[in-house]
């Protein structure tokens, strides 16, 4: 007899460039039911309109409903650092598995410890998605053999650094050559660039950690894509990766691959054989 499995019930925290594209990508997938969308109060109307445009029958609110009968099977975060404390933490405590994109939020050691404790208390796992970067699987495995060096360079068009400390230090609109806007640890990069250095945090957490991973961020008028480079050396050998990611039209700071990475996390939670 064929067993008919109920679809995975999904809550998405954040319905901006990533969240909307994720919902669109999941349309028509009968293994997944998007049941809840959570956004900041100022974005409620926009999110409601975006959900209506996709003909989604979904609860849109500024908090998750974790009550009986409403509990999602999976919470996916694509909202920003503040949303991790506000929504991921209580979901984990309530025993709901979560996948998050705002990995840079973990630069905050206290939040890191709180999330670990909440996951333990709830008996649920928090998955840090690979987002806009690749080779996280290789790096996270190589770590167990011992790593000697991990460096990450993030390069984006100058205007993708607006709203960051680089805006005060440089005339981004008039840059004529590549400008290093940050050099330091992954922890500091993630703290200072919450919308642009989540990848730096992800690479570091997979490898040498937030304090021992060297990061360089570059505003480069010569690129139109978000270019991410990783070099790692260790007992495994050497890894060199360069990604040239197309940005999302709705938010050029964000690479489209981030959306596909979340689609992967959702699909992997809904199927029997995951890759
Ligand atoms: N791991 C990775 O490779 C990447 C991670 N990200 C993370 O994803 C986040 C979202 O990216 P986009 O969709 O491009 O941003 P966006 O600005 O287009 O959308 C943000 C959405 O989150 C909602 N939001 C903001 N603060 C919230 C809060 N405290 N609680 C609930 N909802 C909240 C907003 O209302 C909006 O719907 C980024 O801020 C960044 O932290 C982004 C790009 C790559
Ligand atoms: O989407 C990207 O290319 C990377 C990004 O914004 C981040 O690391 O926060």
Q: Please give the average per-residue pLDDT across 190-212, as a whole number.
A: 98
Q: Measured from the CA of 131, which atom of ligand 2 is nearest?
A: 1
Q: Measured from the CA of 39, which atom of ligand 1 is nearest?
A: 32
Question: In this model, does residue 268 exceed pLDDT 60?
Answer: yes
Same domain (yes/no): 84, 187 = no
Give the domain CATH number at 170: 3.30.360.10
Q: Please give the average per-residue pLDDT across 104-120, as a whole number.
A: 98
State yes or no: 61 annotated in a binding site: no
Same domain (yes/no): 94, 168 = no
Q: Please give the average per-residue pLDDT across 21-33, as a whole number.
A: 97
The rounded Å distance from CA 80 to ligand 1 centre is: 4
Q: Does 275 reside within a domain?
A: no
Which ipTM was obtained for this model?
0.99
Same domain (yes/no): 70, 126 = yes
Q: Does 82 reside within a domain?
A: yes
Q: Does 30 reside within a domain?
A: yes
Considering the entire predicted model, what is its pTM? 0.97
pLDDT of residue 87: 98
Same domain (yes/no): 185, 217 = yes
Give the domain CATH number at 109: 3.40.50.720
Same domain (yes/no): 122, 168 = no
The share of the chain scoring above pLDDT 70, in percent, equals 99
Q: Number of structural domains, the chain? A: 2
pLDDT of residue 5: 81
Q: Please give the average per-residue pLDDT across 260-270, as a whole number.
A: 98
User: pLDDT tens digits for 146-164?
Assistant: 999 999 999 999 999 999 9
Measured from the alpha carbon of residue 243, the closest ligand is 2
Q: Does 249 reside within a domain?
A: no
Same domain (yes/no): 68, 168 = no
> Can you give the residue range of the structural domain that contains 108?
8-132+256-270
**End-to-end CA separation in angstroms for the chain:** 27
Q: How confident is the model at residue 2 (pLDDT cuts 50, 70, 90)?
A: low
Same domain (yes/no): 25, 125 = yes
CB distance 231 to 222 below 8 Å? no
The total of other beta-carbon atoms located within 10 Å of residue 259's CB is 24
Same domain (yes/no): 65, 152 = no
- Is residue 131 lining ligand 1, measured as CB closer than 6 Å? yes
Same domain (yes/no): 128, 26 = yes
Could you tell me whether strands 74-77 and 126-128 are parallel, antiparallel, or unpaired per DSSP bridges?
Answer: unpaired
Q: Does 250 reside within a domain?
A: no
CB distance 251 to 16 below 8 Å? yes
- Residues noted as catalytic: 228
Q: Does 261 reside within a domain?
A: yes
Assigned token pair, 9: 């019930």
The rounded Å distance from CA 254 to ligand 2 centre is: 5
CB distance 108 to 135 below 8 Å? no
State yes or no: 132 annotated in a binding site: yes
Same domain (yes/no): 92, 201 = no
Q: Measured from the CA of 46, which atom of ligand 1 is nearest?
A: 37
pLDDT of residue 1: 53
Question: In this model, does residue 232 exceed pLDDT 70?
Answer: yes
CB distance 266 to 73 below 8 Å? no
Interaxial angle between packed helices 17-26 and 256-270, expressed in degrees from 0 to 180 and rounded to the nearest 10: 40
Question: In this model, does residue 3 exceed pLDDT 60?
Answer: no
pLDDT of residue 181: 98
pLDDT of residue 50: 98
Q: Does 2 reside within a domain?
A: no
Question: In this model, does residue 38 exceed pLDDT 90?
Answer: yes
User: pLDDT tens digits for 115-150?
Assistant: 999 999 999 999 999 999 999 999 999 999 999 999
The rounded Å distance from CA 23 to ligand 1 centre is: 14
Query: What is the residue-averaged pLDDT of the chain?
Result: 97
Q: How confident is the model at residue 273 (pLDDT cuts 50, 70, 90)?
A: very high
Q: Does 171 reside within a domain?
A: yes
Taking phi over 0 as left and psi of -120 to 50 as alpha, with beta for the rest, 56 belongs to: beta
């Amino acid at each position: 007899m064929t067993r008919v499995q109920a679809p995975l019930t999904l809550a998405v925290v954040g319905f901006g460039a990533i969240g909307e594209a994720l919902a669109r990508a999941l349309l028509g997938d009968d293994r997944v039911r998007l049941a809840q969308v959570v956004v900041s109060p100022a974005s409620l109307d926009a999110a409601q309109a975006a959900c209506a445009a996709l003909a989604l029958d979904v609860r849109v609110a500024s908090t998750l409903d974790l009550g009986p009968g409403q509990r999602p099977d999976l919470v996916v975060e694509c909202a920003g650092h503040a949303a991790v404390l506000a929504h991921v933490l209580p979901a984990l405590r309530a025993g709901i598995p979560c996948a998050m994109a705002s990995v840079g939020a973990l630069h905050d050691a206290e939040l890191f410890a709180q999330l670990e404790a909440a996951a333990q208390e709830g008996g649920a796992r928090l998955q840090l998605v690979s987002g806009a970067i690749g080779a996280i699987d290789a790096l996270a495995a190589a770590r167990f053999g011992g790593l000697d060096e991990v460096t990450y360079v993030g390069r984006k068009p100058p205007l993708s650094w607006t709203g960051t400390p680089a805006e005060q230090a440089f005339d981004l609109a008039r840059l004529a050559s590549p400008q290093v806007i940050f050099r330091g640890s992954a922890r500091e990069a993630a703290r200072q660039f919450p919308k642009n250095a989540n990848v730096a945090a992800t690479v570091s957490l997979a490898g040498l950690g937030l304090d021992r991973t060297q990061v360089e961020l570059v505003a480069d008028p010569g690129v139109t894509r978000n270019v991410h480079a990783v070099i790692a050396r260790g007992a495994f050998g050497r890894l060199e990766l360069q990604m040239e990611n197309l940005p999302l039209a709705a938010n050029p700071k964000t690479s489209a691959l981030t959306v596909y990475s979340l689609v992967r996390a959702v699909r992997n939670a809904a199927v029997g054989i995951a890759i």
